[in-house]
Chain A
Amino acid sequence: MNAPFFKFGLFGDNVSLVVAFLIGIGFGFFLERAGFGSAKKLTAQFYFTDLSVFKVMFSAIVTAMVGIFYLSWMGIVDLSLVYLTPTFLVPQVVGGMILGVGFVVGGYCPGTSCVGLATGRSDAGVYLIGIVAGIIVFGEVYPLVKDFYLSTPMGQVTLPALLNIPYGVIMFLVVLMAIGGFAGATWVEKRMAARKGA
């Protein structure tokens, strides 16, 4: 059983920081290669002219899903040991919407703003200042929103467990969603390009 490495003490705090650094660099590199250092590219998503964000993120999700499923099935990764962020349904939906508004208005999401700043974009720097300010504000008002923040707790849940549907079926459905999504996104992009041209 190889995973997870950090939580069960295969390496300590210091090594975990190095690992996190390396993963972060890799993540940033591929975001940049996908063109996500530019707010123009990112906001094009919301005008349906360039759905790269959707495609890249969904690719990452299905790649991870397929990889983890097969590695666990082969007994290389122990799926039951993988930490799942606990679900707090309502606060997380609200939080997602706040993030979405920030994404539309600011033109970045947290990860891509770091990428943008690393490639010398000053708007990304302004966005990052906003993030830090938001963190401070949240920290200060935390006592007021704590009850809401911790409401509707569902613990560590997975779709197969929640819906009581076999793992493989969920996986197949998500794969269908992904393939349909990719095809649909490409179709939308073509239509928007045609409309622009017309």
Chain B
Amino acid sequence: MHRSSGWLTTNRTLGLLLGLLGFVALFLGTPYKGTTATLDATELARIVEREVDHVAPETLADWIIQGKADFRLIDLRSETEYTGYHIPGAENVTLTALADHGLQRNEKIILYSEGGIHSAQAWFLLKAREYNGVYMLRGGLEEWKEKVLFPMLPAEPTPAQRVEFAKMKEVSAFFGGTPQTGTPAERPAVVTALPKLDMPAPASGAAPKKKKKEGC
């Protein structure tokens, strides 16, 4: 403001600069072009190596309990398997339908399949299409069952393991699971029946519940 030399005050200089930038923008085309970048194989490999593309089942359980709605959970298994049991809030999308499912690139997407293979493949398919926020549920549904639905107390538990188990027991109860206690011999050989689907209260709907305060 002080160095106003005649007509060209600071305000007018900034206004001119703004006008210029706005005018140039007319001819620059879409700003999204920066996003059609190349698939960086090394970068992908690094992500895989650092394992930052995983979400642990315990973490996901925690998010669902908290009612977080800032992610989409995708079940990649067949429709029959999906109707049999799925993690609350999951959408059923098969690998082939994934491209047309209307996933947005600014969404956080968590994929899971029975084990880890299909979700890993889907992960690469989406990554190749520049979806950045794609994650896999670590160990797939198998680990979900093992860690969340049917957590197990080790035979000779340490105090830390006991505390951990006590916590997981509650989480398990939320999802209608059955924590496994007693020695391995006493446990049923077959996996305990999967919980009924109406058991847990899933984070309702697609509408994000978070309230953000924005503006002034």
Contact = CB atoms under 8 A, between A and B. Distances in A.
A87 to B, nearest CB: 12
Nearest to A82: B106
B18 A84 contact: no
Interface in A68-120: 68-70, 72-86, 109-112
Contacts, number: 117
B31 A167 contact: yes
Interface string B90-112: 00000000000000111010000
Contact of A172 (B11, B26, B105, B208): B26
Contacts of B22: 66, 171-172, 174-176
A47 interface: no
What DSSP secondary structure best describes chain B's contact surface? loop
Contacts of B157: none
B140 to A, nearest CB: 20
A143 interface: no
Contacts of B133: 7-9, 81
B29 interface: yes
Contact of B132 (A1, A85, A153, A156): A1
B182 to A, nearest CB: 36
Interface residues of B, number: 36
B26 A76 contact: no
A48 interface: no
Contacts of B28: 73, 168
A167 B28 CA distance: 9
B170 interface: no
Interface stretch (B32-40, B77-85, B114-122): B32-40
A7 B31 contact: no
B44 interface: no
A79 B108 contact: no
A84 B70 CA distance: 12
A73 B207 contact: no
Q: Which of B27, B31, B34, B214 has the most CB of A within 10 A?
A: B31
Nearest to B108: A7
B173 to A, nearest CB: 25
Interface residues of A, number: 49
B184 interface: no
A82 B31 CA distance: 13
B15 A182 contact: yes
Q: Which of A9, A77, A156 has the most CB of B within 10 A?
A: A9
A81 B131 CA distance: 8
A8 B216 contact: no
A175 B25 CA distance: 10
B106 A81 contact: yes
A77 B133 CA distance: 14
Contacts of B154: none
Interface string A171-192: 1101110110011000000000
Contact of B30 (A86, A166, A183): A166
12 contacts: A7-B70, A31-B216, A57-B216, A66-B22, A66-B25, A70-B25, A78-B35, A112-B216, A168-B27, A172-B22, A172-B23, A183-B15
Interface of B: 11, 15, 18-19, 21-23, 25-35, 37, 52, 70, 104-106, 108, 130, 132-133, 135, 207-208, 212-216
Interface of A: 1, 4, 7-9, 31, 36, 53, 57, 62, 66, 68-70, 72-86, 109-112, 150, 153, 156, 166-169, 171-172, 174-176, 178-179, 182-183
Given A9-B133, A68-B31, A168-B26, 6 more contacts: A66-B25, A75-B37, A84-B106, A175-B23, A179-B15, A182-B15
